[in-house]
Structure 1
Amino acid sequence: MAGTEVSSPPRTVVLPLALAQFICSFAGSNMNVMINDISADLNTTVQGVQIAITTFLLVMAALMIPGGKITDRFGRKRCFVAGLVVYGVGAVVSALAPGLGVLILGNSILEGVGTAMLIPPVYILTTLLFTETTSRARAFGVIMAMGGIGAAAGPLLGGLITSGLGWRAAFAFQALVVALIVVLGRRITDPLPEDPTASFDLPGAVLSAVGLILIVMGILAADNDFRLMLALLAAGLAVLALFFLSIRARERAGREPLISTSLFRNRTSNLGLLTQHVQWLVLMGTSFVVAAYLQVVRGYDAIQTGVIFTAATAGLLASSLAAARLARRRSQRTLIMAGFLVTIVGIGVLVALAGRSVNPWAFAPGLLLIGVGVGVMLTPSVNVVQSSFGVDQQGEISGLSRSVSNLGSSLGTAIAGTILAAALTGRAYAAAMITLAVIGIVGLVAATLLPRRADTGPPGG
């Protein structure tokens, strides 16, 4: 495996993988600044656009575990390329969408499915190609930095493109980046052969997807029907319980489940997964709340809204670039805790300053701190989880890790959107941000429970 790393220069391998994470994260946040433009052009509402955004994130979360599992059967490189093609088709369909239904088909469904196919291979290939702890940490640092920058810079880039060329051009931009990734990714080699005989747990895949979908649908129903919300949440939890019983029964029968139950027995990994979930929930929730408030309440256009988000992008970029240096000086646990603390303080500053000033730059200090906080903790959280398992379980843990993260993104948009839907006012904005801060505290508590030296050795190394 070390030979593979030598024959595939890190720069050649990491660039397309990092760009893939960038464009998928960009897709999850750039539509936030297009709310007014899309609503007017497609004759829909803010809630309609929110449904499209949330559905995209939900499809990713629901299919990420199966997406990680199929890499064993069809190969990591093949799934990566196939996912890019599906994503690219979705971007083109979205750019040509005549109405909300077609936009949901292109953006929410096709791009969501494509992302679920291509993102697990990004993390599996990185883990397998970079077998040395320092080089792997550096590679994950670049990939996670690009993912965070994509999410934070999505509003700015989306705003610039929307204001200059229209919202449809933002999807054309995604298609062009995908084409570039396909070209750059030609030299990536798969260090493990595919196994056409590998079984696939279809009942498990269906149960996991349905359970996750019901939970997010329940949160989205909160502003319309409280009883429906409770019913959907209960149904979702029940289906996920059936999913666990299903994979356990399959294991006991000597058949391969969608994911091994051993993944849920690793305390360090479980805590790391929780921190990932909360990080993306807070980041995407904040992005949606601030973007919606600026456009609907303050009346800013797409580019004005995007420019304000440069503070978050700058903070995330600065802390991400320092991630490798920080990792040499501090433990993963310490970095994750520090990231949550800075993020929570950033939310407090955001609420305090923005709520009392009409100056749009009052949002900058809070967004800057949030960007710094998220950038500090993204990479260590992924490293903690991926390094908790051996090579033979990288497909499973990568799918589970990305599913948990994207579920966080989905819930962040759903929870924040539900609070804002009640009344798009300054008070609702503050309530949504305070809710995200409380959830951030949950992530901080999880981080304190991580082992004091959570930077475990490389899988299989």
Structure 2
Amino acid sequence: MSRWRGDPWAVLLTLSLGFFMTLLDLTAVNVAVPSMIGDLHASLDEVLWVINIYILALAALLIASGRLGDVRGPRTMFIGGVALFTAASVLCALAQDPAQLIAARAAQGLGAAALAPQTMTIIIGTFPAERRGAALGVWGAVAGVATIAGPTLGGLLVSTAGWRWIFLVNVPIGALVLVMAVTLVPDVRHGTHHKLDIPGVVLAAATLACLTFALTEGQRYAWNAGIWALLGAAALLLAVFLVHQAKGQGGEPLLPFALFRDRGYAVMSFVSATVQVGMIGLFLPVMIYLQSVLQFSALKAGLVMAPAMVVSAVLSPFAGRMADRLGGKYVLMSGLALFAAGLAWLTGVAGVGRTWWEFQPALIVAGAGIGCLFGPMVTVAMYNVDPRMAGAASGVLNTVRQIGTVIGSAAVGAVLQNRLAVSLHQEAVNRAGELPAGVRERFAAGLDGAAKDGLAAGTGHSGGFQSPHIQQVAASAFEHGVVHAMRPTLALPIAVVAAGAVACFLVRSERAGGRRAVPDAADARTRA
């Protein structure tokens, strides 16, 4: 393979495989939520931590890892990240309880954070300027493919082999990427040294950790004083972080405030976060509903999403061209409006006893909206960015996007847990009259336990009753309770996505032909 060493397209294939592996786990794990709850005897908030801890580690260390790549070499960081991610995937698959799985997922997030920023750095350093656009286009398309493949491949693995194979599938891919990286990827360094703002990294990670813990565990601790203290601590730490960054203490700041002087970039940073909240709203509660209420297998639940994701992938390149002709602002507003409308339509369709095809019109509308977002969003954000700042701008934009994923997952999960506790209790009260007086208390306790113990798919939470009539009433109450909880849960991402659409009014109408930021190899710094 030595004759292929340094070949740009062989390098791109290596980097894309590694990047794909990290993105696949962002969406595939959502399909496995009911299975992990049942197999590990986990609560819903514990499984939410399985999702959140990965994104939290990724978001908190993304920019810092980009800077470390400049110091230690992007090839070294990429290889180390792949090795850590692959080893952590094995630990995830071997986990015997929620705590072990959460710890292994944290290690996975560290590996993803180490390798992801290096991919663009190496691409820009490997490809000549005239071919760099095509290479970055392929690299960007990997995200779309991973989004499509995640729920479907995850569903296939969960249904046929079990949820542990969602992590084990990373092992052969990771091993292949390691071999390819060692033999094919050159050591690309630009001779520019950057100082790592360690206090900034610590402050950012602490802010996200306090916020995520408070939102994820709030329902378990009944939103007591400790939870509110954590929310207050998150706000205080955020303020300290912003002051620290503004003063430029600790060397080179993680967050270059100069970027946000451009209105388009500032608005797109907000919009990118709103899009991620919408994506969490589409995958997390809907996947739980499809498997726990409609009794779909994990594979069938993943396939329900597949047509919408295919529509999204097909529309993405056309949306980019439309953005050049009409201006990204209008394409974005249309996409966000379609995304919010699709989620709202899905909320109206959701119910007990639905069939898979009843969801397709709403999901396809949402998928069409998603297809109009990512290309135009980057185009608008980078339109007026100085080319010398393009690397930092890309890194910050992607970090903000991942922070949106962290906050969205925690917030959507918090609303879902709260609404489940209320709706299942109300269903128990409403239906207890249909049962003999001697079993009503146990019946209510069984449904209350469903909200706390994690919605084990298909159990109906009958409370251990042998009577078919009581089991039927319990199953019906459980299903209607989940539906009633899902609707207000989806209201949150719908409102956030709609806010993103409104924010686009602040963007100036600009079209292609003006100044564009093109990343330069000499400025390859913080990227994701």
Name the TM-score class by shorter chain.
Answer: 0.7 to 0.9
Aligned mate of 1:98, from 96, 99, 117 = 96
Question: What is the correspondence of 1:70-109 to structure 2 with a 5 Å cutoff?
Answer: 70-107=68-105, 109=106
The answer on 1:260 being equivalent to 2:317 is: no
Q: How big is the shift at 1:91?
A: 0.8
Change (3 A) 1:67 1:446: farther
Change (3 A) 1:240 1:125: farther
Give the match's secondary structure for 1:167: coil
- The match for 1:243 is 241
- The match for 1:110 is 107
Mark the structure with the bigger radius of gyration: 2
* Larger mean Cα displacement after TM superposition, 73-82 or 156-165: 73-82
Question: What is the correspondence of 1:366-377 to structure 2 with a 5 Å cutoff?
Answer: 366-377=362-373
In the alignment, is the contact (CA less than 8 A) between 2:336 and 2:497 conserved in 1?
Answer: yes
Question: What is the correspondence of 1:49-448 to structure 2 with a 5 Å cutoff?
Answer: 49-107=47-105, 109-126=106-123, 136=133, 138-185=134-181, 187-189=184-186, 192-195=189-192, 198-223=194-219, 224-225=222-223, 227-250=225-248, 255-355=251-351, 358-386=354-382, 388-390=384-386, 393-422=389-418, 423=420, 425-448=482-505
Aligned mate of 1:457, from 498, 502, 516 = 516
In the alignment, is the contact (CA less than 8 A) between 2:273 and 2:404 conserved in 1?
Answer: yes
Change (3 A) 1:453 1:226: farther
Change (3 A) 1:387 1:8: farther
Q: Distance in 1 between matches of 2:343 and 2:130?
A: 33
Unpaired runs of 5+ in structure 2? 1-5, 421-480, 521-528
In the alignment, is the contact (CA less than 8 A) between 1:42 and 1:100 conserved in 2?
Answer: yes
TM-score (norm 2): 0.77
* Larger mean Cα displacement after TM superposition, 366-375 or 14-23: 14-23
Give the match's secondary structure for 1:451: coil
* Larger mean Cα displacement after TM superposition, 68-77 or 324-333: 324-333
Change (3 A) 1:153 1:21: same
Q: How big is the shift at 1:333?
A: 2.3
Q: How big is the shift at 1:390?
A: 4.7
Q: Distance in 2 between matches of 1:344 and 1:173?
A: 33
The alignment covers a number of residue pairs equal to 449
* Larger mean Cα displacement after TM superposition, 216-225 or 138-147: 138-147
Aligned mate of 2:39, from 41, 64, 78 = 41
Change (3 A) 1:271 1:75: farther
Aligned mate of 2:26, from 28, 42, 47 = 28
- The match for 1:3 is none
Give the match's secondary structure for 2:373: helix
Change (3 A) 1:189 1:391: farther
Q: Distance in 1 between matches of 2:503 and 2:66?
A: 25
Deviation per residue, 1:139-191 (Å, 9 max, x gap):
44433332133234312111101111111111111222233334455544565
Q: Distance in 1 between matches of 2:52 and 2:346?
A: 24
In the alignment, is the contact (CA less than 8 A) between 1:74 and 1:194 conserved in 2?
Answer: no
Q: Distance in 1 between matches of 2:338 and 2:78?
A: 35
Q: Distance in 2 between matches of 1:239 and 1:309?
A: 38
- The match for 2:451 is none
Aligned partner letter, 1:202: I
Change (3 A) 1:419 1:298: farther
TM-score (norm 1): 0.88
Large movers: runs of 4+ above 6 Å: none
Change (3 A) 1:127 1:452: farther
Q: Distance in 2 between matches of 1:182 and 1:406?
A: 25
In the alignment, is the contact (CA less than 8 A) between 1:221 and 1:228 conserved in 2?
Answer: no
Q: Distance in 1 between matches of 2:137 and 2:500?
A: 20
Q: Distance in 2 between matches of 1:184 and 1:325?
A: 34
Q: Distance in 1 between matches of 2:130 and 2:227?
A: 45
User: Over aligned residues, Cα RMSD in angstroms?
Assistant: 2.8
Change (3 A) 1:86 1:208: same
Deviation per residue, 1:342-365 (Å, 9 max, x gap):
211211221122348611222222
* Larger mean Cα displacement after TM superposition, 410-419 or 160-169: 410-419
Q: How big is the shift at 1:133?
A: 9.1
Give the match's secondary structure for 1:309: helix
Change (3 A) 1:96 1:150: same
* Larger mean Cα displacement after TM superposition, 150-159 or 321-330: 321-330
Q: Distance in 1 between matches of 2:88 and 2:332?
A: 35
Q: Distance in 2 between matches of 1:379 and 1:130?
A: 21
In the alignment, is the contact (CA less than 8 A) between 1:132 and 1:458 conserved in 2?
Answer: no
Aligned partner letter, 1:348: A
Aligned partner letter, 2:177: I
Q: Distance in 2 between matches of 1:86 and 1:51?
A: 20
In the alignment, is the contact (CA less than 8 A) between 1:390 and 1:460 conserved in 2?
Answer: no
In the alignment, is the contact (CA less than 8 A) between 2:125 and 2:188 conserved in 1?
Answer: yes
* Larger mean Cα displacement after TM superposition, 277-286 or 317-326: 317-326
- The match for 1:4 is none
Aligned partner letter, 2:114: M
Change (3 A) 1:272 1:121: farther
Q: Distance in 1 between matches of 2:332 and 2:131?
A: 18
Q: Distance in 2 between matches of 1:339 and 1:369?
A: 9
Unpaired runs of 5+ in structure 1? 1-6
Q: Distance in 2 between matches of 1:222 and 1:231?
A: 11
Q: Distance in 2 between matches of 1:117 and 1:394?
A: 20
